[in-house]
Homo-oligomer: A and B are copies of this chain.
Amino acid sequence: MASADETQAVYDDFLDHVKRLTYVGDATGVLQWDQEVMMPEGGTPARSKQRSVLSTVHHDMLVDDDLAGYLDDLDDADLDAEQQAVVREVRRQHERAVSVPSDLVERISETTSNALPVWKQAKADDDFAEFAPILEDLVELKREYAAAIDPDRDPYEVLFEEYEPYLGIDTAEAVLERLRDELVPLIEEIEASDATLADPFDGTYPDADQEALVREALDTLDYDWEHGRLDTAPHPFSSGTQFDARVTTRFDESDPLGALGSTIHEFGHATYTLGLPREQYGSPLGQNRDLSVHESQSRLWENHVGRSLPFWELFADTVAEHLDEDVSPQAGYEAMNQIYPDNLIRVEADELTYHMHIILRFEIERDLIRGDLDVSEVPQVWNDKMEAYLGIRPDTDAEGCLQDIHWSHGSFGYFPTYSLGSVMAAQLYAAAADDIEDLDYQIRQGEFGELHDWLTRNVHRHGARYETDALVQEATGESFTADYFVDYATEKFGRLYDL
């Protein structure tokens, strides 16, 4: 039995190693941000090499014998709850990593770097055949990857755990099925409704005006510019650390609300990152819980704040001014909550049909990874499912199965976390609204401090200390449930569409 001092010394060395690992990962994040936002196109070959070697360095540090030794030594050591959480998180990642041979890691990293421009070109050319060969490579590589971790389990389940280690694929499938069961009839009711929602935004709006608008939205929501910045990217994302969490957006001259919603969404991600404890930088206690929780933060701000009537009571005049349009709070609120099942593009989807886009992708990628579907069949299956779930059929692959970047990143198992996050957002927002009595009033006044504090206190500051369901319980007093989302959606859209 080691003495407390010896244990502390081992833990300190262990934590130092873990932090260095995080720093390497965050350095890679900077290279990634740069590649998507700043890098000239011709830079790809060098960037692929740089990212690939950092990914190897990261992997080597994760499978390192020293780290294995620390984990062994700390196995039955007397640790406090926070230390145990750190060990749990690192052990999980270490065990995954030692299962995967490093040459496979390197092949995946290089292939995904190369896939990005191929996907972009295929999308521009509307030619799935250009992308298919490298997508086949990626599916095969990720199957190999899953088999290396656990050859006896469903490879899709194994990949899903990469993004969402603690919720379980069964919970995920149950929630997605519940959503489909509840939302398909709700969407049908909306389509059948006679209600017409206002939409004052039928003009074209210069990028510069939209940019001024979204920058003012970020100001209004208290984005911390000392620790962030806003840029454009073809596929908006947020990345960084608690010291530097950046937001990207994009502008479509006919869709200013798209830019506004997307900016608030990425802002929500950035608030989570910025709310992580700075003094824990590098430790899992200073890192976010997984993708569903991250998405819950973006969806909470995008949907429960940005698509709420109180927010439009606050912000309609600002929108009107920047876009030079007559916008009442009610009209803005209605425009932001239009349901349009004939939309083909996930990132342009409304709050309800969005989930049908996710379910479709989830089913396709699951079948690809399970070997039940061939890459060549993807366009056909995609289009068939769009028809089945939303009654529409894409004319082109650019507007169909080539629209998303994710598979070119080798991300299979990622999509479900979007819907899981929305569901979690509803649960968290209900709890926050319960604790903060006059939250609607505060939003109307442009006071977001208490909501930020609530989220920081109940979610952000914990980092990865709690497993996902425990975190949800800690914040809301209940296990993860779809009830709040279903109630919220039924109530809100029932009212908007006179159902």
Interface residues of A (CB under 8 A from B): 19-20, 23-24, 26-27, 30-31, 33-34, 38-47, 49-54, 56-57, 224-229, 240-244, 246, 278, 281-282
Contact = CB atoms under 8 A, between A and B. Distances in A.
Contacts of A278: 45
Contacts of A240: 43
A27 B49 CA distance: 9
A50 B31 contact: no
A240 to B, nearest CB: 8
A54 B228 CA distance: 23
A47 B244 contact: yes
A238 to B, nearest CB: 13
Contact of A34 (B24, B30, B52, B54): B30
Contact of A20 (B43, B51, B53, B227): B53
A329 to B, nearest CB: 33
Chain A interface mostly: helix
Contact of A44 (B30, B33, B243): B243
B30 A50 contact: yes
B40 A225 contact: yes
A53 to B, nearest CB: 4
A39 to B, nearest CB: 6
A46 B226 contact: no
Among A31, A43, A44, A56, the most chain B Cβ lie within 10 Å of the Cβ of A43
Contact of A46 (B41, B50, B229, B241): B241
24 contacts: A20-B56, A23-B49, A23-B52, A23-B53, A23-B54, A24-B50, A24-B54, A27-B51, A30-B50, A34-B34, A38-B229, A40-B227, A40-B229, A42-B226, A42-B227, A43-B241, A44-B243, A45-B243, A46-B242, A46-B244, A46-B281, A47-B243, A47-B244, A49-B281
Given A243-B43, A278-B45, A281-B45, A50 B38 contact: no
Contacts of A246: 40
A226 B47 CA distance: 14
A378 to B, nearest CB: 31
B281 A41 contact: no
Contacts of A20: 53, 56
B229 A42 contact: no
Contacts of A52: 23
Contacts of A42: 224, 226-227, 243-244
